[in-house]
Amino acid sequence: MADGLKVLVTGAAGQIAYSLLYSIANGDVFGKDKSITLVMLDIAPMAEALKGVVMELQDCALPSLKNVISTTDVKEAFTDIDFAILVGAMPRRQGMERKDLLKANAKIFVEQGQALEKYAKKTVKVLVVGNPANTNCLIALTCAPSIPKTNFTCLTRLDQNRAQSQIASRLGVSNDSVSNMIIWGNHSSTQFPDAAHASAVVGGSTANAVEAVKDDAWLNGDFISTVQKRGGAVIAARKLSSAMSAAKAICDHVRDWYFGTKGDKWTSMGIYSNGSHYGLPENIVYSVPVRIAPGGEYTVVEGLKISDFARSKMDATAQELLEERNAAWDFLPT
Ligand SMILES: NC(=O)C1=CN([C@@H]2O[C@H](COP(=O)(O)OP(=O)(O)OC[C@H]3O[C@@H](n4cnc5c(N)ncnc54)[C@H](O)[C@@H]3O)[C@@H](O)[C@H]2O)C=CC1
Ligand SMILES: O=C(O)CCC(=O)C(=O)O
């Protein structure tokens, strides 16, 4: 078995983790030949529940799971990790926007950014899932200045999967027939799901998704708002936020980050904006299309033609991220 990886999942006793841990431990993310040390962090009141999850993982008898460490101690959790999947945070309830969670969750990402700085490998790759994911990611990377900012990403793959599925279902094709969907901006109701550069295989031929759908009113209207509001719709129906689909999207994101994207395909992820792509402001975490080399180095897909409609949507979601950043700065240590 190839050399192992030490992978941390926070919020390990929560509902997303319950759908996620098996896939990581089973080799569905990093490959069956990679032995995994799984580190599971939650808060002290959840220690007993965490024991139950550990027992279940043991009972799966998985060949690739080398070791399980469950802890409520931040130092133990972050020491020498290769990957950090930061899920642990409060989810929103009905009637809230994700940014309303900033006050409750920002301090978690200050503490965990500082822990990454002190205890993790400098090569650690960090995926922030807990909401508001983009701004929590910005907080974490700001608190870990010795780790490259490119090692921090936030999850918008769930939005991408939602958009892909909407287009596939509209065209009556399988989900894997649709590719190169883009999510621009914030994982929030201002995000811009952009089908203009996506392709779809319909009847054996590959076509641009917009040309295949042939319904601009839907693409510029209900398609966008359905994806933007999908998280809220799941909460309204389930009285709990998305978990199974979130866990699947985390696996897709981390797998692509580890193994790379294939050929001409790209994927969307929230990355640190250094001000050099698509006229986006500097110092926010903004979702863009990226191609990823095996091992994890990503490059932003450049040169896409941006319509006036797209520009206004991209700017609106950037504006929201600037406002979130201003609010978040109140929670950073001085
Ligand atoms: N970016 C995205 O696409 C998505 C983000 N989310 C977000 O993911 C987060 C987690 O969601 P769920 O698992 O459904 O919530 P949950 O409430 O079921 O689980 C969260 C877990 O985190 C733990 N936790 C709280 N503070 C912690 C800390 N300081 N360290 C470690 N663990 C801590 C809690 O004790 C709990 O066990 C929420 O903020 C939710 O809004 C959810 C779905 C998609
Ligand atoms: O919408 C929410 O706050 C629930 C979790 C989430 O971020 C999502 O389902 O997209």
More confident residue, 33 or 104: 33
Short-list 90, 88, 82, CA closest to 112: 88
Instruction: Write down the pLDDT at residue 333.
Output: 77
- Is residue 233 assigned to a domain? yes
| Alpha-carbon torsion angle 296, 300, 304, 309, nearest 10 | 110
| Same domain membership, residue 239 and residue 309 | yes
Question: Do 146 and 238 lie in a common domain?
Answer: no
| Per-residue pLDDT band at 282 (split at 50, 70, 90) | very high
Catalytic residue among 187, 197, 253, 277: 187
89 lines ligand 2 (CB under 6 A): no
Whether residue 142 is found in the same domain as residue 178: no
Residues 214 and 130 in one domain: no
Tokens standing for 153? Answer: 């990403």
Residue 91 CA, ligand 1 centroid: distance in Å: 6
> What's the pLDDT tens digit per position in 69-84?
999 999 999 999 999 9
The whole-number average pLDDT for the span 299-320 is: 98
Three-class SS of the chain: CEEEEEEEEECCCCHHHHHHHHHHHCCCCCCCCEEEEEEEECCHHHHHHHHHHHHHHHHCCCCCEEEEEEECCHHHHHCCCCEEEECCCCCCCCCCCHHHHHHHHHHHHHHHHHHHHHHCCCCCEEEECCCCHHHHHHHHHHCCCCCCHHHEEECCHHHHHHHHHHHHHHHCCCHHHEECCEEEECCCCCCEEECCCCEEEECCEEEEHHHHHCCHHHHHCHHHHHHHCHHHHHHHHHCCCCCHHHHHHHHHHHHHHHHCCCCCCCEEEEEECCCCCCCCCCCCEEEEEEEECCCCCEEECCCCCCCHHHHHHHHHHHHHHHHHHHHHHCCCCC
**Residue 158, ligand 2, Cβ within 6 A:** yes
pLDDT one-digit tens code per residue, 10-68: 999 999 999 999 999 999 999 999 999 999 999 999 999 999 999 999 999 999 999 99
Domain count, the chain: 2
**Cβ of residue 104 lying under 6 Å from some atom of ligand 1:** no
Average pLDDT over residues 122-142: 97
pLDDT digits (tens, 9 = 90+) for 234-277: 999 999 999 999 999 999 999 999 999 999 999 999 999 999 99
Give residue 71's pLDDT. 98
Averaged pLDDT for residues 83-93: 90
Q: Are 72 and 43 in contact (CB under 8 A)?
A: yes
- Tell me whether residue 145 is in a domain: yes
Residue 334 lies in a domain: no
User: Which ligand 1 atom is nearest residue 16's CA?
Assistant: 13
Q: What is the CA radius of gyration of the chain?
A: 19
Amino acid 2: pLDDT? 55
Instruction: Output the domain CATH number for residue 127.
Output: 3.40.50.720
Q: Are residues 128 and 19 in the same domain?
A: yes
Query: In terms of domains, do 114 and 203 share one?
Result: no
Q: Which of 120, 154, 188 is the last residue of a domain?
A: 154
Asked whether residue 99 falls in the same domain as residue 177, the answer is no
Q: Is residue 229 part of a domain?
A: yes
Q: What ipTM was reported for this prediction? A: 0.98
Whether 149 and 170 share a structural domain: no
Please check whether residues 134 and 230 belong to one and the same domain.
Answer: no
Range of the domain at 137: 2-154
Q: Is the per-residue pLDDT at 114 higher than 60?
A: yes
Domain assignment present for residue 307? The answer is yes
User: Which among 117, 133, 154 is the end of a domain?
Assistant: 154
Residue 173, in any domain of the structure: yes
Q: Taking 70 as the threshold, does the pLDDT of residue 179 lie above it?
A: yes
User: Do both 175 and 320 map to the same domain?
Assistant: yes
Please indicate if the annotation marks 131 as binding a ligand. yes
Q: If you average pLDDT over every residue of the chain, what do you get? A: 95
Q: What is the CA(198)–ligand 1 centre distance, in A?
A: 31
Instruction: Read off the CATH number of the domain in which 252 is found.
Output: 3.90.110.10
* Same domain as 146, residue 231: no
Q: What is the pLDDT of residue 36?
A: 97
Q: Ligand 2: which residue has its CA nearest to atom 3?
A: 92
Question: Which band of pLDDT confidence, cut at 50, 70 and 90, is reported for residue 94?
Answer: low
- 0.80 exceeded by pTM: yes
For residues 227-231, give the mean pLDDT.
Answer: 97
Residues in the chain: 334
Asked if residue 150 and residue 161 are part of one domain, the reply reads no
| Contact 301 CB / ligand 1 (< 6 Å) | no
Is 234 close to ligand 2, i.e. is its CB under 6 Å away?
yes
Catalytic site residue 197? Answer: no
Query: Per the domain annotation, does 172 fall within a domain?
Result: yes
Are the beta carbons of 137 and 285 closer than 8 angstroms? yes
pLDDT of residue 231: 95
Label residue 226 by pLDDT band (50, 70, 90): very high
User: According to the model, what pLDDT value does residue 1 have?
Assistant: 56
With CA atoms as reference, report the closest residue to 132 among 67, 81, 185: 185
Q: Which ligand has an atom closest to residue 188 CA?
A: 2
CB 128 within 8 A of CB 237: no
